[in-house]
A = this chain, B = another copy of it.
Amino acid sequence: MNKLSNMQQILKQQQVDAALITDPHNVFYLTGFNSDPKERLLAVMVFAQAEPFLICPAMEAPDAKAAGWMGEIAGHADTQDAMEVLYRTAEKRNQPMQSIAIEKAHMTVDRYDAINRYFQSPEIHAIDDQLNAMRVVKDESELDILRHAAKLADYAIEVAAQKMNEGMTEIELMTEIELALKKRGITHMSFDTTVLTGPKAASPHGKTGERKITRGDLVLMDLGVIYEGYCSDITRTLAFGEPSEQAKEVYEIVRHAEQAALDAVSPGITAAELDGISRTVIEEAGYGEYFTHRLGHGLGISVHEFPSIHGGNNMPLQAGMVFTIEPGIYVPDQVGVRIEDDVVVTEDGYEVLTKYPKELTIITR
């Protein structure tokens, strides 16, 4: 309920009467109830001066209670106008509702029209930035979950190292990884697991496919799990058999670029500075043109959230922020390497959540 109190404080400060939160990730963040309602309405309505309520499909009400939601639940049936049920529930609180905050990047126009109709054209405020600012700093219980999610990502790479073999396709290796995770209770990955082998690893948009692992390949794996609603995200590039000299050289450059950025993480440094540190290592080694993406992205309930770690983001980092550091070098048709860790900013530096070793692993079997 602490997060909801913070939300309420924000409304009071900004003199907004109420907020209607409909992004399922934000609803989960504020209420603990994690659900994807598809086209149906799921929302939490927070008031500056009254108790919040949750609105969800009636059949999901027991799940919301089981998830720990102690407040009022307004259930709606498919035969009802969910926005009308919302309005009736809000109305009973006898609160002013002249100004309502919404997530403009999530709310659809038809719901926006319905708000204007039922609440009689209130002042509409955007609450996106405030929610992003709340979510960007993780508390201890969130960090514990993220640590565990990262451990499972490490485990996935261990499984891959054990299972990969000559002639195995990328899809087969991906399947082995996901099978092992399912046996540990992971039902959803945070994004489609990527396995790219040999020259395919040099294509940042390559798709996991039917190419077979060949001796001498680098095997790039990018994956993550969803654990208790939070995401991990790891990339490791392993060698199957002895790699080329060029591959080894590129690998070491990426490893140094990644470590240099990690070592610089502490409160006060900006995202742009971090990006610059990794990029400089790669540029000075002569591969600057082949590092074609940002250094990293925030990580939490969403696999891509704030802060974005790129050259244009001059936001100073704060303790409790969690993000990826993932430099890469992609020389078309030749060699591709990326190394990615999940890292949290601590009071005096950083803690790396993903721990699979980064010295080049060469699989010889």
Q: Which residues of B contact A183 (CB under 8 A)?
A: 171-172, 175
Q: Determine whether A107 belongs to the interface, using a CB cutoff of 8 Å to chain B.
A: yes
Q: Determine whether A90 belongs to the interface, using a CB cutoff of 8 Å to chain B.
A: no
A312 to B63 CA separation, bound complex (whole angstroms)? 27
Q: Which residues of B contact A124 (CB under 8 A)?
A: 109
Q: Determine whether A39 belongs to the interface, using a CB cutoff of 8 Å to chain B.
A: yes
Q: Which residues of B contact A107 (CB under 8 A)?
A: 108-109
Q: Which residues of B contact A39 (CB under 8 A)?
A: 105, 304
> Could you say which of A104, A109, A188 has the most chain B C-beta atoms within 10 Å of its C-beta?
A109
Q: Which residues of B contact A171 (CB under 8 A)?
A: 182-183, 185, 187
Q: Determine whether A117 belongs to the interface, using a CB cutoff of 8 Å to chain B.
A: no
CB distance from A108 to the nearest CB of B (A): 6
Known: A182-B171, A182-B175, A192-B187. A59 touches B205 (CB 8 A): yes
Q: Are the C-beta atoms of B110 and A109 separated by less than 8 Å?
A: no
Q: Are the C-beta atoms of A113 and B108 separated by less than 8 Å?
A: no
Q: Determine whether A364 belongs to the interface, using a CB cutoff of 8 Å to chain B.
A: no
CB distance from A26 to the nearest CB of B (A): 14
Q: Determine whether A159 belongs to the interface, using a CB cutoff of 8 Å to chain B.
A: no
> Could you say which of A59, A106, A108 has the most chain B C-beta atoms within 10 Å of its C-beta?
A108
Q: Determine whether A102 belongs to the interface, using a CB cutoff of 8 Å to chain B.
A: yes
Residue-wise, chain A 327-362 has the 8 Å CB interface mask toward B (1 for contact) of: 000000000000000000000000000000000000
CB distance from A61 to the nearest CB of B (A): 11
Q: Which one of B113, B175, B205 contacts A104 once the chains associate, using CB atoms below 8 Å?
A: B113
Q: Which residues of B contact A110 (CB under 8 A)?
A: 104-105, 126, 128
Q: Determine whether A14 belongs to the interface, using a CB cutoff of 8 Å to chain B.
A: no
Which of A's residues lie within 8 Å of B, judged by CB? 38-39, 59, 63, 79, 102, 104-110, 112-113, 124, 126, 128, 171-172, 174-175, 179, 182-183, 185, 187-188, 192, 205, 208, 304, 312
26 inter-chain pairs at a CB distance below 8 angstroms, sorted by A residue, are A38-B304, A39-B105, A59-B205, A63-B205, A79-B312, A102-B109, A104-B108, A104-B109, A104-B113, A105-B108, A105-B110, A106-B108, A107-B108, A107-B109, A109-B112, A109-B124, A110-B128, A112-B112, A171-B182, A171-B185, A172-B183, A174-B182, A175-B179, A175-B182, A187-B192, A187-B208
